[in-house]
Amino acid sequence: MNLPNTVTYRLFPKAKGEILVRFENLADNFDKSPAESHINLKEFATALYLQVNNRNPKYVGIKEMDLQGVNKHEKRKSYWYKSLKKQTIKLKLKSVDQSRSKNNKYSLVHLKPMQLRTFLISYKAPVKKE
């Protein structure tokens, strides 16, 4: 698993064949040159399964979750509402990861300095031939 030196991860088992992974970029904004880190999440998930089970998975599913790992990130509302002097101001959220395309989703995940991101990785094991 090739991760940048400033990136750490924690694994949390969720259910059979499901793992929550929380990535953290330890680079600080006060460093001389804080760099944005990039992770190939599909490659990470496959390498993790291979390291534990000594074989490749049949299927790898990846979903971005909120920081607590409870709700899917995509279901988050696209607008936040803020009350200020009895006026409602609509603040549009910027996409957290603008590099994702529909075809190669999660092949390259960006982590800004001091950023945390959580993903749910689900696996299906290959069928054993007897």
Model pLDDT for residues 6-42, shown as the tens digit of each residue: 899 999 999 999 999 999 998 887 777 777 888 999 9
**For residue 113, is it within any domain?**
yes
Measuring CA to CA, how many Å separate 30 from each of 8, 26, 50, 114? 19, 11, 37, 10
Q: Which amino acid is at 3?
A: L
**For residue 91, is it within any domain?**
no
Model pLDDT for residues 41-89, shown as the tens digit of each residue: 999 999 999 999 998 999 999 988 887 777 777 655 444 444 444 444 4
Residue 122, pLDDT score: 93
* Domain extent at residue 56: 7-74+104-124
User: Per the confidence metrics, is the pTM higher than 0.85?
Assistant: no
**For residue 119, is it within any domain?**
yes
Number of folded domains in the chain? 1
Say which CATH number the domain at 113 has: 2.60.40.1360
Model pLDDT for residues 77-127, shown as the tens digit of each residue: 444 444 444 444 444 444 444 444 444 577 788 888 888 999 999 998 877
